[in-house]
Amino acid sequence: MKKLLIILLCLPLIGLSQKAKDLGYVQNWAGDYNTYWYVLGWSVDGHVALLEIHTDDMWGGCSYEIVIQNMKTDEIVENINLYSGDLSEPDYNEEGQVVGEDYNCDSSYVMKTNYHAYKKLFLKYKIIINDNNKFYRSSIVNNNFEIIFKSKDTPVPDSLGELDRYNGCELYWCGNRPVDYSLTIKDSRNKSKILTKGTDWCASDIYYVGYFKSPFEPRILTVIYSRESDASQRYYSTYRFVGCSLKSSTFK
């Protein structure tokens, strides 16, 4: 396994953005054209490596961040920022390759430049790069499990009205309001378990999106999306990644 891991890590993730878009691996699930998530790889013991790419079409600029999440606890155990800064035009050599230090928003350049940083991180958490991370836009898993998402508006004090602030939220601006939510899963025996529940204090929209399957164990990574609008009527996305074991012993 160690030998396989080292071999896989010696394959730099260059050309990620275009390759991922061509193959459908970069996900832009909810109409937020500035935020993309990509599953880079998995460990055999319940860790997943995620890459967040954010671009700002209005002002220019980008950021790349790798996140390692424990799917058993949903804890983000480590993350590294690969780049965050201005968008700039590339310089090319005679072979048509990007050269220079100024084109940091090019995915090939970012991943190649930071290869040793994330290689070390992947070795630490035994992440094996996987280029076949299909995203399932479904609430049914293996025809044996059903994922159920529920949400309802959280009551606010009667004294508060439109544009008043409540727990940091400007109420009802472009639909913003506090929302209670829960994500559960039920198996074919009608046994179930709660994967997560909580309150999004300022959501103009929130819903379950889909899931990824771990290639190494009976476990999935589910995704919840929410967004909040601001005064300029732009919105900000939040993606919640929630792990789920499919072992029968974990259902009640």
pLDDT reading at 90 higher than 60: no
Q: Is the pLDDT confidence value at 3 over 60? A: no
Instruction: Note whether 184 and 139 are within 8 A (CB).
Output: no
| CA pair distance 90, 98, nearest whole angstrom | 6
Cα separations in angstroms, 39 against 53, 118, 132, 241, 245: 11, 14, 9, 11, 18
Would you put residue 104 in left (φ > 0), alpha (ψ -120 to 50) or beta? alpha
My answer on whether 110 and 11 are in the same domain is: yes
- 120 and 17 housed in the same domain: yes
Same structural domain for residues 64 and 118? yes
Boundary residue ending a domain (97, 129, 161): 129
List the domain range (segments joined by +) for residue 90: 2-129
Statement: residue 247 has pLDDT above 60? yes
Q: What is the mean pLDDT of residues 70-83?
A: 93
Mean pLDDT is lowest, of 23-27, 43-47, 120-124, 206-210, for 23-27
Q: Does residue 124 share a domain with residue 76?
A: yes
CB atoms within 10 A of CB 197: 11
- Within this chain, do residues 189 and 212 fall inside the same structural domain, yes or no? yes
Per-residue model confidence (pLDDT) at position 60: 62
Q: Any idea which residue has 């164990």 for tokens? A: 217
Question: Region 111-126: what's the mean pLDDT?
Answer: 90
When comparing pLDDT for 166 and 3, which is higher? 166
Q: How confident is the model at residue 67 (pLDDT cuts 50, 70, 90)?
A: very high
Q: Examine the fold and report which residue of 105, 129, 153 is the final residue of a domain before the chain moves on.
A: 129
In terms of pLDDT, which residue wins out, 84 or 187? 187
Q: Which long-range contacts (CB under 8 A, 24 or more apart) does 34-37 make?
A: 34/237, 35/237, 35/239, 37/239
Same domain for 64 and 8 = yes
Per-residue confidence (pLDDT) for residue 9, from 0 to 100: 41
Which residue, among 33, 36, 62, 61, has the nearest Cα to 50 in the 3D structure?
Answer: 36
- What confidence score (pLDDT) does residue 89 get? 53
Q: In this structure, are 7 and 118 located in the same domain?
A: yes
Q: Among the listed ranges 29-38, 64-73, 198-207, which one has the minimum average pLDDT value?
A: 29-38
AA identity, residue 1:
M
Q: State what percent of residues in the chain have pLDDT above 70.
A: 75
Three-class SS of residue 29? coil
Strands 35-42 and 128-129: antiparallel
- Examine the fold and report which residue of 74, 103, 129 is the final residue of a domain before the chain moves on: 129
pLDDT of residue 24: 37
Same domain, 154 and 116: no
Contact present, 69 and 76 (Cβ < 8 Å): yes
Total domains present in the chain: 2
pLDDT value, residue 212:
95
Q: What is the mean pLDDT of residues 111-138?
A: 89
| Same domain as 115, residue 193 | no
pLDDT at residue 146 is higher than 80: yes
The pLDDT of residue 63:
82
Give backbone dihedrals phi and psi of 27, rounded to 5 degrees, phi first.
-105, 135
Residue 57 binned pLDDT confidence (cut-offs 50, 70, 90) = low
For residues 142 and 118, state if they share a domain: no
Same domain for 7 and 72?
Answer: yes
- The pLDDT of residue 232 is 61
147 and 202 share one domain:
yes
